[in-house]
Amino acid sequence: MKMRPSGIVLTPPQYLALGFAAIILVGSLLLTLPIASASGEALSWIDALFTAASATCVTGLSVVDTASQFSLFGQLVILTMIQLGGLGFLTSVARFSMLLRKRITLRERLIMKESLRQDSVEGIIRLIRRVLLYSLAVEGVAAFCYTVRFASELPLGQAIYFGIFHAVSIFNNAGFELFGHFQGGLPA
């Protein structure tokens, strides 16, 4: 007689929803830390939750100014959530699995198939590799172009960071930016 696992078995859509919820929850917790705030004071839970959900779901809505409210740590948390949400957290999981040379199971492939809205699991890993390669290439070219543009008015390190942040945000259609509190573009 065959024994069934006693745990809860999630369908691919349930797994995807829980994955996004987990990213939003962890992101919210990180954004409430004083280290995530430019002032050193913790952001309210509801503002952190809204920002995390907006970054992960790449909606671009925010109740606080990203540039002035968040420290570098907070901005990097937002940037990570944008990338995870925009590319899909399963694509990111697959990337780490590939880097670690871990075998991707059939169940994981089925979930990835659902995430990428494919009809079959055939070629799903090749597709994920292409998605990652193309997205990182486009983000890289955009980051370079933005850096060149920003370097004329910002210190080089800041221009590179702003170039990367805006390239990722724009590629993923997230709408987050670091110039919100400046009128008329780049600071003088």
What type of residue sits at position 22?
A: A
Distances (CA, A) of 55 to 63, 83, 155, 176, 183: 12, 9, 27, 8, 23
What is the arithmetic mean of pLDDT over 13-27?
A: 86
- pLDDT given at position 115: 67
17 vs 135: which has the higher pLDDT: 135
- pLDDT-derived band at 123 (thresholds 50, 70, 90) equals confident
pLDDT at residue 181, as a whole number: 55
Any idea which residue has 């590319």 for tokens? 87
Is residue 66 over pLDDT 70? yes
Residue owning tokens 């920003």: 150
Residue type, 114: E
- The total of other beta-carbon atoms located within 10 Å of residue 148's CB is 11
Exposure string of 49-72, with b = 16+ CB inside 10 Å and e = fewer, is bbbbbbbbbbeeebebebbebbbe
The residues, ordered by sequence, that sit 6+ positions from 53 with a Cβ below 8 Å of its Cβ are 24, 28, 59
Name the 3-class secondary structure at 109. helix
Cα distances (Å, whole numbers) of residue 65 to 32, 173, 177: 15, 18, 9
pTM score of the predicted model: 0.80
Q: Is the predicted pLDDT of residue 188 greater than 60, yes or no?
A: no
Burial degree of 184 (CB within 10 A; 0-12, 13-18, 19+): exposed
Question: What is the tens place of the pLDDT at every residue in 138-147?
Answer: 999 999 999 9
pLDDT tens digits for range 146-180: 999 999 999 999 999 999 999 999 998 888 999 87
Q: Give the separation between CA 53 and CA 61, rounded to whole angstroms.
A: 9
